[in-house]
Amino acid sequence: MVLTLASCNSNKSDKVSDELAIYQCPMQCEGEKVYFEPGSCPVCKMDLQAVENQNSKEVEDEGISEESIFNLTSKWHTEEGEEIQLEDLKGKTLVMVMIYTSCKAACPRLVADMRHIESQLPKSNIENLQFVLVSIDPKTDTPERLKAFAIENTMDGKQWTFLQGTESSVQEFANVLAVKYKKISPIDFSHSNIISVFNPKGELIHQQEGLGVDNKETVEAILQLTQE
């Protein structure tokens, strides 16, 4: 409840920057130089143009766009027992999937798909990459359990992160990914099999649906994002 209220109160600071337009010479005579008032370019004398249009809704200095999953402020526990927000994963390409460790049917194959994706990527790309496995069963999947699962599946490297949330944060996260899931017994869930790729700013770039499908497109999307 405290968390809920906190999230309710933190609404005001976003996007104060609406009126803060930035102007730039259309010819970019001075390169990337920007002005904060309308006027003309001192070099070519052309009228300055407002350039902030696409980014005007960016949340202040953080540079998180409207579509970024880093707008979710819920707290998560990693398999190492650390408490993080999704934003702490900023800066790397993210490949995310929702699973639960007691799953016998689909998850092992989803996990296999993740590892198969990893195996197709050069080492240098993996350094710019984080594989994130989010549990849809936060009650059972404690950090200890996630850690054991990571070791068991040889996914204990630093490029793998496992997250435990709360029922509510998992639900919200699933809805951002358009993942559907339902508890069908005390230990079993039925769920969509979706692997999602996010760019380092947390924007959804690609989703792969289904089990054991050809993940060529997913790998290509990741390669593009991690190439720079």
Partner 1 sequence: MKINAFGLVVFCCVFQMFLFAQTEGMVFIEGGRYLPLYGRDSTVVEVNNFNMDIYPVTNKEFEQFVAKYPKWQKSKVIKLFSDGSYLSNWKNDLELKDTENPNSPVTYVSWFAAKDYCECQGKRLPTVDEWEYVAMSDEITKDARVKPSYNEQILAWYEAPRSNENLIGESPKNVWGVYDLHGLVWEWTLDFNSVLITGESRKDVDKDSNLFCGSASVNATDLMNYAAFMRYAIRGSLNAKYSMKNLGFRCVQDINEEK
Residues of the shown chain interacting with partner 1 in the complex, contacts defined by CB under 8 A: 1, 4, 7-8, 11-12, 14-15, 57, 66-69, 71-72, 105-106, 171-172, 174-176, 178-185, 190-194, 209-211
Residue number with CB closer to partner 1 (14 or 52): 14
- In which element (H, E) is residue 117 found? helix 106-119
- CB of 225: closest distance to partner 1 in angstroms? 19
Q: Yes or no: say if 199 and 225 are a contact pair by the CB < 8 Å rule.
A: yes
* Rounded least distance, CB 216 to partner 1, Å: 19
Q: Is the dihedral of CA 93, 194, 74, 187 positive or negative?
A: negative
Q: Which residue number, 48 or 72, has a Cβ lying nearer to partner 1?
A: 72
By C-beta, is 159 or 181 nearer to partner 1?
A: 181
Q: Which is nearer to partner 1, 17 or 120 (CB)?
A: 17
By residue count, the chain amounts to 228
CB of residue 180 to partner 1, shortest distance in Å: 5
Burial 72-89 (b: 16+ CB within 10 A, else e): beeebbbbeeeeeebbeb
Minimum CB distance to partner 1, residue 111 (Å)? 15
How many Cβ atoms are within 10 Å of 175's Cβ, its own excluded? Answer: 10
